Amino acid sequence: MGLDWYAHGRVLVWSVLDHHSVCSLECHLSSTSQEQTLSEKPLFVLCRFEDKLPGFDVFVCTADPKMEPPSLVINTVLSVLSSNFPSEKLSVYLSDDGGSELTFYALWEASRFSKNWIPFCKKFKVEPRAPEAYFALHSDVHDTKCGQEWFDIKKLYEEMKNRIDSIVESCKIPEKTRNQHKGFSEWNLKVAKNDHHSIVQIITDGRDTNAVDKDGCRLPTVVYMSREKRPQQPHNFKAGAMNALLRVSSKISNAPFILNLDCDMYANNADAIREALCFFLDEKTGHETAYVQHPQVYNNVTKNDIYGNECIATNAIELAGLGGYGAALYCGTGCFHRRACLCGKKYSKGNIEKWNIEGQKSTMDNSIQKLEESTKPLIDCSYEKGSQWGKEMGLIYGCPVEDIVTGLAVQCRGWKSVYYNPERPNFLGVAPNTLEIALVQHKRWSEGMFQIFFSKYCPFIYGHGKIHFGAQMGYCIYLLWAPVSFPTLYYATVPPLCLLHGIPLFPKVSSLWFLAFAYVFVATNAYSIAEYVMCGGKLKAWWNLQRIWLIRRITSYFFAFFDTIKRQLGLSETHFTLTDKVVTDDVLKRYEQEVMEFGSSSIMYTIMATTALLSLVSLVWGTKRVVMDFELKGLDQFISQVILCAILVLINIPVYEALFFRSDKGHIPSSVMYKSVFMLTLACLMPI
């Protein structure tokens, strides 16, 4: 058998010991300095005896064909189906919480297209392997070396995409199409988004030697799953879907390693699975590794990252620092797991896990129909009642950010986690392209993380003596996003109000104490800029990030704080808000031009606009009053507040434009402006 090789960070050598042992692994770091990060180390991997590689299950989750278009979902599926990994050892599971036959239809179409797409990718070493992303990067045949085959595969893809989009638009599957696969019969019964029976359909059976692509090579297994949902029955959102996938996959493929992806995050590196194996199979630390987390990187971030989605410094420094403690955050997507860890297994030193290859082969005697029928009861609403699922097994329930708390629980069982940030991102997702979507997303995250802080899973309590104290503090950087809203809101309102009323808050410029305030301000921002630029960011992107952090803290985090308190008092329940992946062409155009998108009457915008107007009025009227009433002596007292208001005004320039000058659909509605002016008037008339 020939040698297969690829590049990215370590040397991997496989050798067969005996019939029952799978392989031994010897990893040697190259001559690169030991102090370099994982993302900087060159990796050269040599693999022999690929029949001894472990199996890999890939979980992709979606929930609504309107907010998460099926054509987007199947691009993620196709990107992992065509990975550089033995197809017979790869299984891809799509969890559809919406129970939509439109999503099932799209997956069926994708499985048929994969018979041409997989051999095309492997023959020409295509990157990336999500068709939409590939053809966007290579829009002309002259950009490739594929010749006529490029035209043929592009035509097949566009025809498939058009069929999917037209059927999704019509919301009806033609009878002729329904007759081509038995799975469509599941929708002969009444199926509603939140009220439907369990559905499991094996679309491609990777065990079948006759399931081959156009070159005669085996195809990966493809499975559609939609767990049962009933009104008044808790379904535990994405955590419930992941746990259902764990149970179903254990009966079909039962691979020892799992990759989970959001439906909008495609594989950007065909060797991503092989790279992950380097960490799990490292002879020194692999046996204690529970999961390998990649950063969330996006393919649609604007030049200067208008909504601060990229998190350059966070990815390069904060998350990497937590990874240094063996406590990398589990972020819910782009993560490779050891199945046993997700299923609740505790780490035991010296316990070397063996891959159950024989167990994986035990399903060979079961027909597709038998497997489908035997797995359906595993995803019924009643299956988890009285069990440890959602507690000690699988992802943990009861929190909107089930991924973070699950990662913490796994680490507290003695396992380590790895944060891997390669130079070329292994996965790329879709970033929010409107301000409202970005704020709603951060509200959900900050609310969920603040709930963790109040729960029994608080790192300082649950993690005490189990994970490093530095890791406990690292977790709390994110868990305490919500209360950070108060000091930010204070600085955005109190200094401007006091300036307006002629009340000094900071030391005079002539005072030595002024130097302390000036030093903190200058040093903090200079360090922040240097850190951001050294991580590869631009100065304008850093400025945009300061704006978005201000807006997040006084809106998303502020509301998240009170919603969490209400939940702790039993006055409300946890809700999961799905992020919309669909926007109109004019919204997309403004996003690409880096024009901030408002366009709704959200109460978040009312608070944002009120603080922005307060800063503007305070700067103009307060400065005039200081100069006129106190002459130049007033500047000595109020210069700090004037500078702070000036910075707030500069940060809020896009808000003023949306309030007073823009006429497109993305401007701030008049109703928001009237409410903001009313609140501003009350604030200014308030006696201080």
What is the per-residue pLDDT across 57-99, written as a single tens digit (0 to 9) for each? 999 999 999 999 999 999 999 999 999 999 999 999 999 999 9
Give me the catalytic one of 57, 64, 262, 403.
Answer: 403
**Phi, psi values for residue 511, rounded to 5°:** -85, 145
For 332-365, what is each residue's pLDDT tens digit? 999 999 999 999 999 988 776 666 555 455 566 6
Give me the catalytic one of 57, 64, 97, 282.
Answer: 97
What predicted TM-score, i.e. pTM, was given to this entire model?
0.91
| Mean pLDDT, range 237-260, rounded to an integer | 96
Report the distance separating Cα 391 and Cα 388, nearest Å: 5
% of the chain surpassing 90 pLDDT: 77
For 388-440, what is each residue's pLDDT tens digit? 999 999 999 988 899 999 999 999 999 999 999 999 999 999 999 999 999 99
For residue 189, the SS3 value is coil
The pLDDT of residue 603 is above 90: yes
| Mean pLDDT, range 471-475, rounded to an integer | 97
Q: What share of the chain is helix, strand, coil (3-state, %, to 5)?
A: 50, 10, 40
For residue 450 the two structure tokens come to: 């603040």
Higher pLDDT, 589 or 25: 589
195 is an active site residue: no
Calculate the average pLDDT of the chain: 88
For residue 243 the two structure tokens come to: 């746990």
403 is an active site residue: yes
For 142-168, what is each residue's pLDDT tens digit? 666 788 899 999 999 999 999 999 999
**Do residues 494 and 505 touch, judged by C-beta distance below 8 A?**
yes
Report the distance separating Cα 287 and Cα 280, nearest Å: 7
**Phi, psi values for residue 58, rounded to 5°:** -115, 125
H and E: helices and strands count for the chain: 26, 14
**Do residues 52 and 86 touch, judged by C-beta distance below 8 A?**
no
For 557-586, what is each residue's pLDDT tens digit? 999 999 999 988 888 776 666 666 677 889
For residue 429, the SS3 value is strand
Residues with Cβ < 8 Å from 657, sequence gap 6 or more?
Answer: none
Return the DSSP state at 298.
Answer: B
